[in-house]
Copies of this chain bind each other. A is one copy, B any other.
Amino acid sequence: MATGGMDEASNMKVVLKHYVSGSPQETDMHLTAGTIKLKVPKDSNSIILKNLYLSCDPYMIFKMMKLERQLTDPYVLGSPITGYGVAKVLDSAHPGFAKDDLVWGITGWEEYSLISDPKNFFKIQHTDVPLSYYAGILGMPGITAYIGFYELCAPKKGDYVFVSAACGAVGQLVGQFAKLHGCHVVGSAGSPEKVGILKNKFGFDEAFNYKDEPDFDATLKRHCPEGIDIYFDNVGGKMLDAVLLNLRPHARIAVCGMISQYNREQPDGVQNLSSMVSKEARMQGYLATNYYHLYPKYLEMILPLIKESKVVYVEDVADGLENAPKALVGIFSGRNIGKQVVAVNCL
């Protein structure tokens, strides 16, 4: 909203107070008010964004920590945290972007952002779908599901597929892709409601609430009696260990994330890796960001599937930046149902 000088707006930000260890809490962040000039600096390549949707993603926990082995630059204390988002360009000094363009990419957790080097932003070309989808099914989580399943798991019709965190931003897509591919699909999630969604909305053949299961090996033997050809691993730890005991020969494991381990000082020890030998299994870790060259190919596949309702997408939309910290910490305890986004501004 306009304030002070003509081009200046008030700008609420979400700031990290201190680095965290273990599960992040709402109180690790706070909201601060600031102001921003809504004009790009002269002689720059900058763009000014009005942030519309912010994405809550598991990798963000690593930027909230200061680790001995830092995988990624930590957030700067006192500055707004960053993450994927969908935004409208208010002003641009960059030849690739114009006022009113819609874009997605890494933006700030604030109402408006000055992006000094916008080269990694994607311009949104298709607006006949919900814009928030560009934080999910049409953004990084979508590419993650697409690459992990189609490129890394080499799926075949009739394969037995198991997906953990199956109701999440990525898992719900993997399950639906696998069903469309003619696979038998089982998913795990953390509440009866999510289990119902897996079966009734996404068409999983079987689903279970892992919180009700004391012995994952026995659970998998019950739900996947034929064994597992493809495991799409979002969680790591004990579930991965149980999956290793239930692999079929030449099984493929795509390791997308290990969210069950991210807030642990001492990760679970995985004991059953010798199954990798006897089952001649393959485990492949990956980062979707290194596959963005395949984004156009993915869009070509996914847009018609969305429009024909052959793939659906469940989002959990928190309203307003003031609810963003709660939304973010919620994904580490599974409070969200579907892809967690935060609606910041209206278009």
Please give the distance in Å from A246's CB to the nearest CB on chain B. Answer: 10
Residues in B whose Cβ lies below 8 Å from that of A269: 268-271
Per-position binary interface string of chain A over residues 257-288, scored 1 when its CB falls under 8 Å from any chain B CB and 0 otherwise: 11001100011111111111111111111110
The verdict on A258 contacting B287 (CB below 8 Å), with A69-B245, A269-B268, A269-B269 known, is no
Please give the distance in Å from A317's CB to the nearest CB on chain B. Answer: 27
**Number of chain A interface residues as a range:** 20 to 34
Residues in B whose Cβ lies below 8 Å from that of A282: 282-285
What are 11 A-B contacts defined by CB distance under 8 Å? A71-B278, A255-B276, A262-B274, A266-B271, A267-B271, A277-B285, A278-B285, A278-B287, A280-B286, A280-B290, A282-B283
Interface check A256, CB cutoff 8 A:
yes
The verdict on A277 contacting B256 (CB below 8 Å), with A270-B270, A271-B269 known, is yes
- Among B71, B273, B286, contact of A255 (Cβ-Cβ < 8 Å): B273
Query: Once the chains bind, are B276 and A273 in contact (CB under 8 Å)?
Result: no
- Among B71, B271, B278, B285, contact of A276 (Cβ-Cβ < 8 Å): B285
Interface check A236, CB cutoff 8 A:
yes
Interface check A131, CB cutoff 8 A:
no
Interface check A240, CB cutoff 8 A:
yes
Query: Once the chains bind, are A236 and B273 in contact (CB under 8 Å)?
Result: yes
Query: Once the chains bind, are A285 and B290 in contact (CB under 8 Å)?
Result: no
Please give the distance in Å from A215's CB to the nearest CB on chain B. Answer: 14
Query: Once the chains bind, are B267 and A274 in contact (CB under 8 Å)?
Result: yes
- Among B71, B236, B267, B273, contact of A258 (Cβ-Cβ < 8 Å): B273
Most chain B CB within 10 A, of A240, A271, A274, A286, is at A274
